[in-house]
A and B are shown apart, each in its own frame.
Chain A
């Protein structure tokens, strides 16, 4: 497993991050936007684990645990916001939130 070089893992993390970013920019469904943020956070955690595995240290996995806790907190608040958004706006289109009403 040390045969997997650092470059391939980082390229995979970058590709996953880019796919998530494209989805974040193109999709208008709020749930899918949150899922794309999850993809991007997962790619960042993958980069941490790849770097930690390159030098055989546990620090990368520890950082992935922190990313995991942060992703869990983010998705809890984000889905609560999505539910409130649906109740307020009547739909899940993020473009329908382009007005600020006191």
Chain B
């Protein structure tokens, strides 16, 4: 398990360095996805499989999806080359291959080695809805405030009554009927 931890830590550090050194924004974000996967493997080796799954689902899934949508919406990669070259393939391919090899190896040894020090979803849930239930309520209020705040910030400044019903597609559409 220590070997898995160090390999995943090396992948995390290398991909995070590549995040802050790439000039292409999309490449940087995809290296960040690789970095989050590597940190998920680190969580798994630390005996926290629930948090590892949440790292993949929420961080690498939802949050990075928000980033990629923002990049698409802002159209900041209009000057990028249209086709990925082999040099752009090489880095992510090597890092993800290392993580895949770790995954296959971890599946092989999961029966005898993974069962002793795991803090599983049951214990996490008992703690989360026991002594930390006030924090859960505060987190829900924080997420609601962020939802309202993001909607308010990204709305056009001159549409006094934003029309409802079309969700996130109405930001660029209803900007003409402002009356101040």
Contacts and interface: CB of A to CB of B under 8 A. Distances in A.
B117 A1 contact: yes
Contacts of A58: 119, 123-124, 126-128
Interface in B109-128: 113-114, 116-119, 123-124, 126-128
Contacts of B67: 31, 34-35, 75, 79
A32 B71 CA distance: 11
Interface of A: 1-4, 8-9, 12, 15-16, 19-20, 22-23, 26-27, 29, 31-32, 34-36, 38-39, 42, 46, 49-50, 52-53, 56-62, 64-66, 68-77, 79-84, 86, 92
A70 B141 CA distance: 11
Interface stretch (B79-87, B88-96, B147-155): B147-155
Nearest to B13: A15
Interface of B: 1-2, 5-6, 9, 12-13, 16-17, 19-20, 25, 28-29, 32, 35-36, 39, 42-43, 45-48, 50-51, 54-55, 58-59, 62-63, 66-67, 70-71, 73-74, 76, 113-114, 116-119, 123-124, 126-128, 132, 135, 139, 142-143, 145-147, 149-151, 153-154
